[in-house]
A = this chain, B = another copy of it.
Amino acid sequence: MAAHQDPAQRVRRPPTILDVASQAGVSKSTVSNVVRGLPGVSDATRRRVRTAIEQLGYRPNVLARQLVQQRTSILGVVVGDLANPFFAEMAKSVERHAAARGYTAMFCNTEGDSQSELAGVETLLEYRVAGIVFLAFSGESRTMQETLEHQVPVVFLSCKADWGDVVSVDDVRGGRLGTSHLITAGHRRIAYISIPELEDQSDIARWQGYCEALEQARIEPPIRISWSPPSDHALVSGVDRKLLEVFTGPDRATAAFGSNDVAAISLQEFADRVKLRVPQDLSIVGFDDVPMAGLARIGLTTVAQPRDELAKLGIATIADRIERKLKGPPRTTLVGVSLVTRQSTGPPPEGL
């Protein structure tokens, strides 16, 4: 292999279209025509240009192109938490489908914080992204305004808002599905548990589904736990309590519905640590069906989302919107959820 030089020393700037033009002895328009594969260039010229491009290692400057074209092929993707396996999987799918449609994805991790969500969108807008895909949306209205004001198509993928296109599972239905499963198994005291960092619009919809299921079964009251693992305290229906208390004592909760798999698995981990047996003492249902949930050792019952289908539809929607193939008012596309039953759920203990 050729001796390599110190990266800091090589200062040769990338060749421009002009370099190619002069090298090939043509005008830059011709080079442009060749690069873009337009017809109306003689074969001889085309060949000469191709050679020059090869020799110089010319690569068109996308920034310049997009500046003059007044549009970019960058898709901004707002992710709640890349470290959450669900988002990681979605991000991966989104990137793949975006690339397949000619878009480059630019990710923004928000840590579920509406502050950085706003900052992220701001950055994306500065890059004049062609559209924004929200993989999580806090619901913060200022972000919405910023985005609206600047005419960027937006799709809420696996999350929702009352403006912009939505492609997601029916979270309310998913919430009902998971909760009903527990009710059917005989549980009467069922808690809903979420991790505050990830409480967004989806979380709210799932909570609603949970409440509806309880109501329909005439079970009162709903119990909302907001917990930051691995703390042993949590906000239980608004008041700070020891988490363990919720699952012990005479009218303890015998089951919990996690707003997502990470919350559910964290709770299972907590249960393991404090020697609560799952599902004998405590049944747990999650949401998402992340790969980890399917491991024999985890065996989490969960509401599954068809991730790749969601990503595909979401990208199709926003791409169509960008390309003006889709017009009219915001559209909502709901795809089905399904319950995956594993070992984390069972009937409640005797007498409860």
Binding site for B on A (CB under 8 A): 1, 4, 6-14, 57, 59-64, 66-67, 70, 72, 81-83, 85, 88-89, 91-92, 95-96, 104-109, 122-123, 125-128, 141, 146, 148-151, 153-154, 163-165, 265, 268-269, 272-273, 291-292, 295-298, 321, 324, 326-330
Given known contacts A92-B81, A95-B107, A265-B295, A128 and B61 CB-to-CB distance under 8 angstroms: yes
Q: Are B296's CB and A298's CB within 8 A? A: no
Asked, given contacts A126-B61, A321-B8, whether A83 binds B88 with beta carbons under 8 Å apart, the answer is yes
- Say how far A72's CB is from chain B's closest CB, in angstroms: 7
Name 14 A/B residue pairs within 8 A (Cβ), A-sorted.
A1-B141, A4-B148, A8-B153, A8-B326, A13-B151, A14-B150, A62-B128, A63-B66, A67-B67, A82-B82, A82-B92, A83-B85, A83-B88, A272-B297
On chain B, the residues within 8 Å of A109 by CB distance are: 92, 95-96
A107–chain B nearest beta-carbon distance, Å: 5
Assembled-state Cα–Cα distance A150/B5 (Å)? 12
CA distance A11 to B128 in the complex (A): 14
Q: Is the CB of B104 within 8 A of A105?
A: no
**Set of chain B residues within 8 Å of A14, measured between Cβ atoms:** 128, 150-151
In the bound assembly, the distance between CA atoms of A324 and B95 in angstroms comes to: 32
Q: Is the CB of A104 within 8 A of B106?
A: yes
